[in-house]
Chain A
Amino acid sequence: MTSTPIPGPDAPTPAGREATLPDDGLQQGPLIPPRTATTGEPMIAINAVSKWYGSFQVLTDCTTTVSKGEVVVVCGPSGSGKSTLIKCVNALEPFQEGQITVDGTKVKDRATNLPKLRSRVGMVFQHFELFPHLSITDNLTLAQRKVLGRSPADAEKRGLDLLARVGLSDHAKKYPGQLSGGQQQRVAIARALAMDPVVMLFDEPTSALDPEMVGEVLDVMVELARDGMTMMVVTHEMGFARKVADRVIFMDRGEIVEDATKSDFFGQPRSPRAQHFLSKILSH
């Protein structure tokens, strides 16, 4: 365990980090260069964000921050606005009120170069969304070449390197349709990492997977968290939250109902709604 991130001063102590996980990947080195300084400066600052679809309010006055190197799990019942909230972070969804700042750049600002901002924010989707007409290698290199302007050789080196780290080197020449769901999602994570993002967003990354494939994807995410990546993860995987989250945000009906350290959240959630949700999700 050489690459455990040092939590920022305002981040809670990651007390419950069991060291018993299968960590084969770590022997091959970290997924990302370990960040030396996790100083607690906010990487994502969400400030009083409200959003409406027509007259229906999907987000109400959401405020939270994610510090550098912090892993924040966002959970809540379906329709609570959690996916919408993280899609606001890289401006995939517009919002009407409030402001979001990513690494010092305002998201809702005409002067902001959104494609550039988005290229620094990795995103992993529920349904993988690999580009089906491109080989795995091309999936990994396309945006590096066209957005970051890397040379094909550099892009391929970076892409294949990450593909090896997610354990799929043998599949570089294949197409997404030839891989299992779990493998596709690992490629999708590698594709996002190839852009050298400062923060990674996960939108229910395991919800579309067959149960036996959830583990392999979570393993990669755990590894990434331990390498110090700043992560905002929408998931129902409370096991993952317990393992690596620094904080847990609970949302319901578009509001952030609870924003607590992991131990507080699992120990004694303050709001009845969070208690109710936890009792349902943990009982099976």
Chain B
Amino acid sequence: MNYTWNWGIFFEPSPEGTGTYADMLLSGLLWTILTALASWAIAFCLGSIVGVMRTLPSKAARGFGTAYVELFRNVPLLVQMFLWYFVLPELLLPAAGAWIKQLPNAPFYTAVICLGFFTAARVAEQVRAGIEALPRGQRLAGTAMGFTVAQTYRYVLLPNAYRIILPPMTSEFLNNLKNTSVALTIGLLELTARARSMQEFSFQVFEAFTAATLLYVLINVVVIVAATFLERSLTIPGQR
């Protein structure tokens, strides 16, 4: 293989004119983190609502929840990304479509919404599983105390369900973080996109993707450590 290693490449100025290649990768990392956090906020809230709906007595609520989950988890993320970015603006009124297309940072907003809705379907399934794992008597006890349905969820079911599903939710968070790389297809300059452009400008493909890989691993380790602390702080005394 005729390849010239050059680990010093990170400190050479990038052709974009501002800063080095390292700065370029770090700005990509920043966008990755921003996209992951913003989309997780949507996924967590929306997923919790949809997951709760799937456990409600109301048939309409359960039906809506099921439809949501099946729609968003059965269409590939890449296809969803294209649908949100290329197809949706065309379906709206021309003025609204044009406004969306001209938004500054349109790829970022689109990626956040797309990932948020996609991951919400997965979060919803975790939340539903967590609630269904609780003894049936917990719901009865809350109801018998005079709690409304909303209060029973807020004070009794969800605090326990979230504790049960914390480990799989950590996985979902990590998945969501890594899925941000799909957004490079709609032009979001996140970490993978930045590694690719570094490779194209400098031809140092191995250095670029080694750095990207290490950065992904690094933030995932941070997340895992944080989740471990969270889990520890939420442990209930006396529970097995």
Contacts and interface: CB of A to CB of B under 8 A. Distances in A.
B236 A129 contact: no
Interface stretch (B99-107, B146-154, B168-176): B146-154
B160 interface: yes
Nearest to A131: B156
B29 to A, nearest CB: 36
Given A92-B144, A174-B237, A174-B238, A146 B135 contact: no
Interface string A126-162: 1101111100000000110011100000000000000
Given A92-B140, A143-B146, A132 B160 contact: yes
B66 interface: no
Interface residues of B, number: 23
Interface stretch (A35-43, A111-119, A243-251): A111-119
Nearest to B239: A177
Given A129-B138, A133-B163, A178 B238 contact: yes
Given A132-B239, A177-B237, A127 B137 contact: yes
Contacts of A179: 238
Contact of A195 (B137, B146, B236): B146
B236 A177 contact: yes
A177 B237 CA distance: 7
Interface in B110-145: 135, 137-138, 140-145
B237 A146 contact: no
A175 interface: yes
A118 B137 contact: no
Contacts, number: 78
Interface of B is mostly: helix
Most buried by A among B141, B142, B147: B141
Interface residues of A, number: 32
Nearest to A92: B140
A176 interface: yes
B167 interface: no
B159 interface: yes
Nearest to B140: A92
B203 interface: no
A3 interface: no
A121 B144 CA distance: 8
A194 to B, nearest CB: 10
B138 to A, nearest CB: 6
Contacts of B232: none
Nearest to A126: B137
B147 A147 contact: yes
Nearest to B156: A131
B240 A146 contact: no
Contact of A125 (B141, B155, B239): B141
Contacts of B140: 87, 92, 125, 129
Interface in A148-206: 148, 174-179, 191-192, 195
Most buried by B among A126, A146, A178: A146
B147 A177 contact: no
B237 A178 contact: yes
Given A129-B140, A177-B238, A115 B146 contact: yes
Given A131-B156, A177-B238, A178-B238, A115 B148 contact: yes
Contacts of B138: 129, 131
A117 to B, nearest CB: 8
24 contacts: A92-B144, A115-B143, A115-B146, A116-B146, A118-B145, A118-B146, A125-B144, A127-B135, A127-B137, A129-B140, A132-B239, A133-B160, A133-B163, A133-B236, A143-B146, A147-B145, A147-B146, A147-B147, A148-B146, A174-B238, A175-B238, A177-B236, A177-B237, A178-B238
Interface of B: 135, 137-138, 140-148, 151, 155-156, 159-160, 163, 236-240
Interface of A: 87, 90, 92, 115-116, 118-121, 123, 125-127, 129-133, 142-143, 146-148, 174-179, 191-192, 195
Which 9 residue pairs are nearest across A and B when measured between Cβ atoms? Answer: A119-B146, A177-B238, A178-B238, A129-B141, A143-B145, A123-B144, A147-B146, A129-B137, A177-B239
